[in-house]
């Protein structure tokens, strides 16, 4: 059943990707001021949204682990964190590629960019912590604490362009009357966002399955060692 569900999701992902690419390069109009480079927007923004979603899952799963001590929540937290770090890395790569021709610089230490970089470092530290703590229970507890505290940076990143003057563009959705997108651009953004959400879901499910297999192997190893002794 699980294998069939994964196959359906992956088939749907392939179709959505094809539709998204067609809409980005053939349906959405070219932005007048920025030109073709603006089309990075359809990848950069959905990557950021889904990275936030990943860290929200880490936050919730970490709370659930501390409340229940159920290893399945720890597995979900680390899976979400790994995919979230990957998406945040891509955000930090696509952002400068878009910024250079638009702003004339690759990077500037404004509020949103700096906080996004800090977010990436926090969850990179989360993953490093998991590698250096040997005790599974202690590792899960410490990771959960970092995952909960680290999430504080997510709303700071999101609201940075509303709270402080930044180089980063103002919101294009829910940002006021002057920030509205062309209807074709909006539709393309929504399709791309759904595509990246599906991609995140597929990767997350695969990573959770791997983590469960690791737990099973660890349990079998402990049983074997106990039988020898």
Q: Pick the residue with more confidence: 70 or 223? A: 70
pLDDT at position 224 over 80 = no
Kindly report the average pLDDT of the chain as a whole number.
89
pTM for the predicted model, two decimal places: 0.88
pLDDT, one tens digit per residue, over 3-53 is 777 788 889 999 999 999 999 999 999 988 888 999 999 999 999 999 999
pLDDT at position 172 over 70 = no
Phi, psi of 109 (to 5 degrees): -85, 60
Distances (CA, A) of 152 to 34, 58, 118, 147: 33, 12, 11, 9
Distances (CA, A) of 33 to 23, 87, 105: 20, 27, 17
In the prediction, which pLDDT does 174 show? 52
DSSP designation for 173: S
Cβ-contact 65, 148 below 8 angstroms: no
Helices (H), the chain: 2-22, 41-68, 71-103, 111-132, 136-150, 153-163, 183-228
3-state secondary structure of 178: helix
Pull the structure tokens for residue 168: 């980063």
Pull the structure tokens for residue 163: 């709270």
Q: Which of 89-98, 170-179, 193-202 has the lowest mean pLDDT?
A: 170-179
pLDDT at position 175 over 60 = no
Report the first-to-last Cα separation within the chain, whole angstroms.
Answer: 39
pLDDT at position 87 over 80 = yes
In the prediction, which pLDDT does 176 show? 47
Q: Which of 44-53, 180-189, 203-212, 213-222 has the lowest mean pLDDT?
A: 213-222
Separation of alpha carbons 56 and 77, rounded Å: 9
In the prediction, which pLDDT does 40 show? 94
In the prediction, which pLDDT does 103 show? 81
For 129-144, what is the mean pLDDT?
A: 91
pLDDT, one tens digit per residue, over 88-129 is 999 999 999 998 888 888 888 888 899 999 999 999 999 999
Cβ-contact 143, 62 below 8 angstroms: yes
For 73-79, what is the mean pLDDT?
A: 96
Percent of the chain residues topping a pLDDT of 70: 91
Q: Pick the residue with more confidence: 162 or 171? A: 162
In the prediction, which pLDDT does 7 show? 83
pLDDT at position 208 over 50 = yes
Q: Break the chain into its structural domains and give their ranges.
A: 2-170+180-228
């Amino acid at each position: 059943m699980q294998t069939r569900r994964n196959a359906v999701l992956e088939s749907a992902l392939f179709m959505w990707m094809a539709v998204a690419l067609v809409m980005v390069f053939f349906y959405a109009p070219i932005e007048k001021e920025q030109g073709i480079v603006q089309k990075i927007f359809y990848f950069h923004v959905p990557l950021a949204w889904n990275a936030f979603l990943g860290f929200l899952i880490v936050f919730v799963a970490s709370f659930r682990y501390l409340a229940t001590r159920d290893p399945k929540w720890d597995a979900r937290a680390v899976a979400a964190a790994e995919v979230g770090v990957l998406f945040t890395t891509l955000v930090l790569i696509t952002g400068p590629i878009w910024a250079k021709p638009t702003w004339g610089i690759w990077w500037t230490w404004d509020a949103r960019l700096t906080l996004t970089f800090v977010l990436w470092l926090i969850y990179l530290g989360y993953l490093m912590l998991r590698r250096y703590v040997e005790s599974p229970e202690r590792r899960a507890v410490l990771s959960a604490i970092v995952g909960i505290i680290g999430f504080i940076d997510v709303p700071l990143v999101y609201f940075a362009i509303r709270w402080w003057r930044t180089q980063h563009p103002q919101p294009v959705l829910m940002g006021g009357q002057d920030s509205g997108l062309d209807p074709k651009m909006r539709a393309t953004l929504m399709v791309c966002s759904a595509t990246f959400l599906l991609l995140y879901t597929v990767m997350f499910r695969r990573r959770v399955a791997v983590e469960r297999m690791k737990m099973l192997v660890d349990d079998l190893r402990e049983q074997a060692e106990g039988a020898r002794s």
